[in-house]
């Protein structure tokens, strides 16, 4: 009886004193992400985005769009997914927030969108053009990935969170870490970001 009273007091304390916004913080969709930074002759040309969705969301989307239920997404099914389960996030910058030397870069469109099913998981792949010419001094790029409503949680995969392509002519430094300059979801959450510095080889 004594233990039941103590538990009741603890529950009441939590309900009274833990902020409501904290109890609401729970993403429903989980996205594992990899980025591939692509360079051309002038500098950064943009980056490929790879998203792997959790099994529950994957199952929901596949049930709606894999119409022949063969476990493979045909061209028309990919187009349906892009229209009905991807394009709407354009108003949220496609969940990709880029800064170039601390100046925000608006992601207005993506190219080469493709969707597929891999061992029960839905995969999105797409390219974001973002041209930044290299100069003698370092250019500082940050790429943070998040849903501002925190309905979806985007996180970098642990082993190989990013790759860099065609960077032979440039000096490049890159790391994934928490973006302490950005807060989302009632200022409670710092998203992760890729921080990239590059310049012409000296």
Q: What's the burial of 28, exposed, middle or buried (CB within 10 Å: 0-12/13-18/19+)?
A: exposed
Distance CA 31, CA 152 (A): 7
Q: In what order do the strands lie in the sheet with 103-105?
A: 103-105, 96-100, 139-145, 192-200, 170-178
Residue 4 or 165, more confident: 165
Q: Is the pLDDT of residue 118 over 50?
A: yes
Q: State residue 9's pLDDT score.
A: 34
- Average confidence score pLDDT of the chain: 89
Question: pLDDT at position 26, please?
Answer: 74
With a cut of 90, say whether residue 65 has pLDDT above it.
yes
The pTM (predicted TM-score) of the whole model is: 0.86
The half-sphere exposure of 77 on its side-chain side, counting CA atoms within 13 A, is 19
What is the percent of the chain with per-residue pLDDT over 70, rounded to a whole number? 88
> What is the rounded radius of gyration, in angstroms, for the C-alpha atoms of the chain?
21
Tens of pLDDT, residue by residue over 33-47, are: 999 999 999 999 999
**pLDDT, mean of residues 67-93:** 96
CB 32 within 8 A of CB 52: yes
pLDDT band, residue 24 (cuts 50/70/90): low
Instruction: Write down the pLDDT at residue 38.
Output: 98
pLDDT for residue 11:
33
């Amino acid at each position: 009886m004594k233990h039941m009273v103590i538990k009741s007091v603890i529950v009441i304390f939590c309900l009274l004193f833990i902020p409501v916004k904290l109890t609401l913080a729970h993403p429903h969709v989980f996205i594992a992400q990899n980025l591939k930074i692509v360079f051309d002759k002038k500098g950064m040309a943009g980056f490929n985005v790879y998203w792997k969705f959790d099994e529950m969301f994957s199952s929901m989307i596949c049930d709606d769009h894999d119409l022949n239920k063969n476990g493979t997404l045909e061209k028309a099914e990919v187009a349906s997914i892009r229209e009905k389960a991807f394009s709407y996030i354009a108003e949220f910058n496609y969940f990709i927030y880029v800064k170039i030397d601390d100046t925000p870069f608006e992601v207005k469109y993506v190219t080469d969108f493709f969707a597929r099913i891999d061992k029960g998981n839905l995969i999105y792949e797409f390219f974001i053009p973002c041209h930044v010419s290299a100069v003698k001094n370092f250019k500082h790029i940050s790429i943070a990935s998040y849903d501002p409503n925190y309905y979806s949680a985007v996180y970098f995969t642990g082993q190989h969170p990013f790759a860099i392509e065609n960077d032979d002519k440039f000096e490049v430094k890159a790391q994934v870490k928490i973006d302490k300059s950005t807060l989302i979801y009632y200022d409670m959450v710092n998203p992760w970001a890729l921080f990239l510095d590059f310049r012409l080889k000296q």
